[in-house]
Chain A
Amino acid sequence: MEMNEKAILQFVDIDISFRTNAGVVHAIRGVNLDLQKGETVAIVGESGSGKSVTVKAAVGLLDGNATVNRGQILYRFKNNDGTEKVVDLLKMSKRELRTTVNGSRIAMVFQDPMTSLDPTMTIGKQIMEGMIIHKRADKAAAYARALELLELVGITDPEKRMKNYPHQLSGGMRQRVVIAIALASDPDILICDEPTTALDVTIQARILELIKDIQARLGLSVIYITHDLGVVAKVADYVNVMYAGKIIEVGNVNEIFYDPKHPYTWGLLAAMPDLETDDDRLASIPGSPPNLLHEPTGDAFAPRNRYALKIDEIADPPMFQVSDTHFAATWLLHPDAPKVEMPAELRERIERSKKEAERYL
């Protein structure tokens, strides 16, 4: 597999399963995803659809009961002597990954901040550690930079907070410490898994602006996993929508928000309450995701899809091309398919959004 010329990170046909007491769970079923330098790519999708597992594979942090059945994760970087190199991250040993890539070149902010913090070490030590190991910074420089980072992520009294242990911080503060640790190593790629879920909107806005700013200055590339579609709208250049271990729609951010093609994406966009929602019940997508203990036949979304066609029960749809950047895996895009429009309420909401956007142009 030749790596896409412009990509810095490229997931090629990733397929992963887990052994469990109840049987083998086929969690990731052929994921393709490109990240280009300086870009932000968002991954959204149902809880349990495989977002975290996909990115964990890139940093060698899959659980012990995981098997990678297929695929490559290609990473392009500059060696210390300035030459360019492409490696397959899945071929590297955990040790190699830890010493050459993780932390220093690819940094990850995990969904559950407590799992990536050491409860027995002050947060100051934890932020400085990476700089001292990876960047060979001296202690005083690392201390100064740690203070600055804490300040940047909106933690007041940083000198005092440096001496706190993780349990002495609020949930959102811990999340911000993890972000500070990730940024401390000046990585090429930042992978954020729900980095702002526990933050109120004012601090969230500040963190998002901080990441954008670093991106503009240093050309950082970002993979951003979140279920908050407002955040996606704010940060993403491209959006990947995941369902049951596959990417079922990808496009630039405007294509996904103003012209979604996959019925699952329709459901996702329609389920978000806005400040105008006052119905008695929220719209949710009926049913539950397939149990990947059993391989689904046909389109995995079909049982929950009110627009499903006969063929959905038999064959899994390929990716159909909508534009240069927009693809969706739904038979509705097949030339022979009946013409189906998105639900009227969603159409109206999108029209309202577009009107609103005109005021900003």
Chain B
Amino acid sequence: MYGFDYHAPQSLSEATALLAQHGAAAKPLAGGTDLILHLKERRLKPRHLVDLKRIPGLDHLTAEGSELRVGAVVPLRALERAIAGDELLQATVGAGLRQMKSPTLRNRATLGGVLANADVTADLLPPLLALGTTVALHGPGGDRVLPLDEFLLGASRTALGAGEILREVTIPRVAGGRGFFQRLGLKRVGGPPLVIVAGVLVPGPEGGVARASLVAGAVGPRPARLPQVEQILLAARPAVSGIEQAAAAGAGEAGAVSDLWATKEYRQEILEVLLRRGLQAALGTGGDR
């Protein structure tokens, strides 16, 4: 039979104990927007669902000082509100959120769910990676903090160990940073993205950039930084003079693959276009859009 037991633990330790006890037969439940579909389509058949939404201390959102700390079960809608006045976060995370047009989805889906899901096409992962986000995990062996880059292992694979729960997400505020988010999908919004690029740049002396963090998503097994692109931009004086070369390098290094939706070659061409457009927008050279 396709039944399951529903658990609503009241504390983190109770939750990790349940997860540890039932092992692979248990799944944490956050917004359920992804997990329930898996159950419905029988791709997953967990015997136990451990609801994280009743656990005190997982739903906080603090925006003090140099970082934004977001509890794992905070819905995307709350995150959207919290970043309303922040230009950099708007240009990156906010732009990603605007792709998720459905209000019901944003009210229901959680930030922890987005990260734990590790979907290669997730709109929020590239901007969060570019911003240098870290995640705090809680498990039977205690707590640990990982950069998001190390947390994401591959398509739907994360560093979460047995019984471990993603507890909190920390998004640093990058002082003086300028950001962008570019996406090409088959539909105007929603639907499968073919390419996502996001970036955060901090202007430096001589028209250059002091910090560059560029990420491509939806092209390979997981969203990934583009170190060559970053190097080119860091070296260019002024930075805008490096845009063409950086964009061309990005097309090569992102490890684009072919799938149902597009060929590798097309993805590479689009990467170049979107990188160029994003960098032009962030570095203020106008661009076409």
A and B form one complex: no
